Structure 1
């Protein structure tokens, strides 16, 4: 079982520029440089990823690392694409925004030797910055706690309550934990075979937490109902549905369904063209 957590991120730039990368800036480790650039990306509203690196062939020590915008480069041609019924949409734009760090052998620190700030694409809106892939990571400790809670038989509502208390108590619950999505290995395999047509629906806050419960449902070759994924949402706004559909596609190699049946919810209707522009969405009675 996998969970995605959202913690609010301050995206308002401060008056000073301490949060902005500069040539000559030093970091204790490659991870520190990544965390700094990722925080900068969160403020500026773009996602980052690790790209090229070089290591010492004798000690295997990292010598340099290139961190890039996640829209850097272009996707390589896949020989299977002509045979694909629903090929993945191109998401890269050849963006050249980057941060390059190199190890200073004298100090043992990593130094910024190149920083390109400009992007060749629109940045996401402030309301959607937390949905960026590099901003949705959880710590190893949090992941272990979630797995332990599931293995201990805690119900979803109890896990929700537990994480809320750890975030600062019930009074901070609504400010810290918003949406949760999960799908197991069987759901992912079923979707790969039977995911061309999907029905998506939410309950009317019938659980104890009064949160919308969402499910992705389909049929197998025996016309049996199968589940592709489920989520506990904070609300039914278009922002929440954008977050959910992005996570749904992320665990399925960005393969979107051909047809998605939904109810008449306005938030769903707004989110689908944003995340799945090639998917036909129909009303289900």
Structure 2
């Protein structure tokens, strides 16, 4: 099941009230919250990832989910040989930007309970945002063409 979010490109970047997450904002599914925050990240110039989730231990139903900037936290110590020829570059900066959604059982929807928008790194320009990890998408037609080519 794919969730697509399209925004009217006539909205000015300065007037981003319509597509900016807000505390108390409801979503029918966790995937809708992810899609909304990912679209917001694409408009602002950062990539997102899923960080933490908690499920009900009896029903296995998702209770809450934390979505963070891709640069959240820090890379763990590399366990490989310290003399590695091509060690991985550090990509994380400890960014604290995040969106936390929690299931409100009264209404049966996921509600934004915490939103932090402050980044501690430079954001990517709109011309390059499509190259960010969470923004890379291929159409169904492109996927079929890739399958046929393999």
* Alignment TM class, shorter chain as reference: 0.7 to 0.9
Q: How many residues were matched structurally?
A: 142
Structure 1 residue 77 corresponds to structure 2 residue 77: yes
Structure 1 residue 107 corresponds to structure 2 residue 110: no
Aligned equivalents of 1:57, 1:143: Cα separation in 2: 39
Secondary structure of the residue aligned to 2:15 is coil
Displacement after TM superposition at 1:53 (Å): 0.5
Displacement after TM superposition at 1:124 (Å): 1.1
1:167-208 Cα distance to aligned partner (Å, 9 max, x none): xxxxxxxxxxxxxxxxxxxxxxxxxxxxxxxxxxxxxxxxxx
Structure 1 residue 34 corresponds to structure 2 residue 48: no
RMSD (CA atoms) = 2.1
Aligned equivalents of 2:123, 2:136: Cα separation in 1: 17
| Alignment correspondent of 2:149 | 150
Aligned equivalents of 2:59, 2:141: Cα separation in 1: 32
8 Å CA contact 1:81, 1:87 repeated in 2 = no
The 5-angstrom pairing of residues 113-152 of structure 1 reads 113-138=113-138, 141-142=140-141, 144-150=143-149
TM-score by length of 2: 0.86
The 5-angstrom pairing of residues 204-223 of structure 1 reads none
Displacement after TM superposition at 1:60 (Å): 1.2
Displacement after TM superposition at 1:57 (Å): 1.2
| Alignment correspondent of 1:67 | 67
Q: Give structure 1 stretches of 5+ with no counterpart.
A: 1-8, 152-285
1:80-137 Cα distance to aligned partner (Å, 9 max, x none): 1513111011010000000000001121100000000100000112221111111102
Aligned equivalents of 1:77, 1:35: Cα separation in 2: 31
> Larger RCO: Structure 1 or Structure 2 (Cα < 8 Å, ≥ 6 residues apart)?
2
Q: Give structure 2 stretches of 5+ with no counterpart.
A: 1-7
CA, structure 1 residues 14+146, in 2 after alignment: closer, same or farther (shift >3 Å)? farther
| Structure with the higher helix share, 1 or 2 | 1
1:208-264 Cα distance to aligned partner (Å, 9 max, x none): xxxxxxxxxxxxxxxxxxxxxxxxxxxxxxxxxxxxxxxxxxxxxxxxxxxxxxxxx
TM-score by length of 1: 0.47
Secondary structure of the residue aligned to 2:127 is helix
1:18-38 Cα distance to aligned partner (Å, 9 max, x none): 100000000000000000000
| Alignment correspondent of 1:17 | 17
Larger Cα-atom Rg = 1
